[in-house]
């Protein structure tokens, strides 16, 4: 899981508050003492955590080969050079 303390906005503060609640073993009492806005933030945070936990963690081996490589065995530098040359060619005008 990502380091939640580095997340934007007030998530770091909320995480610290939730961790403190758990450490104090007063989770329910502390939750009820929060303002309705803070309670909503805690609930939203918990829902985000739950979504992350429910997301399937796929292994690279499971998805290897599921996309056709544009290189098809071609050297990567050769492919890049060819793509650049093709992009630099003038487009013929049809009239």
User: Per-residue pLDDT tens for 35-91?
Assistant: 999 999 988 988 888 888 777 777 777 777 666 666 567 778 888 898 899 888 887
Q: Which helix (H) or strand (E) holds 24?
A: helix 11-24
- Of residues 55, 52, 21, the one with CA closest to residue 38: 21
Determine the structural domain holding residue 15 and report its residue range.
Answer: 7-54
| Residue 95 confidence (pLDDT) above 50 | yes
Per the structure, the count of domains in the chain is 1
Does residue 61 belong to any structural domain of this protein? no
In this predicted structure, what is the pLDDT of residue 52?
80
In this predicted structure, what is the pLDDT of residue 5?
46
Does residue 94 belong to any structural domain of this protein? no
Does residue 82 belong to any structural domain of this protein? no
User: pLDDT by residue (tens digit) across 20-30?
Assistant: 767 766 777 78
Does residue 63 belong to any structural domain of this protein? no
Alpha-helical regions (H) of the chain: 11-24, 27-33, 36-54, 60-63, 76-88
- Of residues 21, 22, 16, 15, the one with CA closest to residue 33: 21
């Amino acid at each position: 899981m990502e380091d939640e303390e580095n997340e934007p906005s007030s998530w770091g503060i909320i995480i610290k508050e939730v961790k403190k609640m758990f450490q104090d073993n007063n989770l329910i009492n502390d939750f009820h003492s929060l303002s309705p806005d803070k309670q909503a933030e805690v609930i939203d945070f918990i829902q985000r955590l739950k979504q992350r936990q429910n997301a399937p963690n796929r292994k690279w081996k499971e998805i290897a080969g599921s996309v056709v490589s544009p290189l098809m065995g071609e050297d990567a530098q050769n492919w890049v050079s060819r793509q650049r040359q093709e992009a630099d060619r003038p487009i013929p005008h049809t009239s």
